[in-house]
Amino acid sequence: MSHTAFYVSEGSERYSSQPSTGSPWGPDSQHGGPPGALLARAIERLDTGNDRVVGRFTMDLLGPVPVGPLSVTSSVLRPGRSVELCEASLYDGRGGRSVASATAWRFPIGDNGPRNADGPLPHGPDDGKPHDRPASWSGGYLDAVEWRWIEGAVLEPGPAVVWMRPRVDLVDGEEISPVQRLMTCVDSASGVSAELDPGSWGFLNTELTVHVLRAPVGEWLCLDAHTTLGGGNVGLASSRVYDEQGLVAMSSQALLIVKR
């Protein structure tokens, strides 16, 4: 790929969005993964004098995120000695419009606590197969991520299991953190597990909530995703997210279901 990052820093929390952020539906608006990761990065970088990990992250998408200049702000909403609530907002750098916001609960770092989460999956990235994206879809994000499908396929309706990893940095020249990598990938659950033909139906996620059990290890993440339809305009996409050691997170996304 000609680009090596989703964003290039312009200083003072301003960023130039790269073509790799583009959504499957067109090159002018972004897939939800990179903006979610950029908001998570802003929250992780808040210095409150305590070592913290993100335990719950919620992003609200307030409109299309343009592939263009962006700016980010962040702050601590509720400080605390044990847990703290933080927020971040993403703005269109050309007009100042707020395009996305996020809140996150940060918890103390701890080791060797009790554990009953799922262990390693019976398969890994090398067991999956790539599938070509539809020719009518824009590349952008889809080409900036490596995909290895275990169950399901790009245009095969129903639940799916896929290993994925970003091929590019989040911010140019900067090592991506485990939580940023998680947010880059997990927004894809609604597309991975689509129950409807995207040519006939729209299923837009308005938000993303991720409960993080632990920071993922390694480059690869696996989404075990499914979508539930209620017969109206509301759907729910959810996933269990794994690294090669076991379960790391669970996600959910409220979907707006509309006939095209």
Give the lowest-confidence range in 1-5, 61-65, 161-165: 1-5
Q: Cα separation of 90 and 64, whole Å?
A: 11
The whole-number pLDDT of residue 151 equals 97
Percentage, residues of the chain above pLDDT 90: 79
Query: What is the predicted pLDDT for the residue at 66?
Result: 97
Contacts of residue 28, Cβ cutoff 8 Å, sequence gap at least 6 = 22, 64, 66, 67
3-state secondary structure of 116: coil
First-to-last C-alpha distance (Å) of the chain: 32
For the purposes of burial, counting CB atoms within 10 Å of the CB of 54, is it exposed (0-12), middle (13-18) or buried (19 or more)? buried
Give helix 178-186 / helix 33-44 axis angle, nearest 10°: 150
- Are 192 and 33 in contact by the 8 Å Cβ rule? The answer is no
Provide the mean pLDDT of the chain: 94
pLDDT at 113: 72
Express each pLDDT in 142-171 by its tens digit.
Answer: 999 999 999 998 888 999 999 999 999 999
Q: Per residue in 198-244, pLDDT tens? A: 878 888 899 999 999 999 999 999 999 999 999 899 999 999 999 99
Q: Is the confidence at residue 1, as pLDDT, over 70? A: no
Give the domains, in start order, of the chain with CATH numbers.
5-109+122-259 (2.40.160.210)
pLDDT of 208 reads 98
Q: What is the pLDDT, as a whole number, of residue 167?
A: 96
pLDDT (tens digit per residue) in 129-140: 999 888 888 899
pLDDT at 3 over 80: no
Q: Rounded mean pLDDT of 53-74?
A: 97
For the residues 62-90, what does the mean pLDDT come to? Answer: 96
- How remote is the C-alpha of 77 from its chain's centroid? 23
Q: Looking at residue 174, what is its pLDDT? A: 96
Residue 102 has pLDDT above 70, yes or no: yes
Checking if the pLDDT of 56 tops 70, the result is yes
Res 30: pLDDT? 97
> Count of CB atoms within 10 A of residue 104's CB?
29
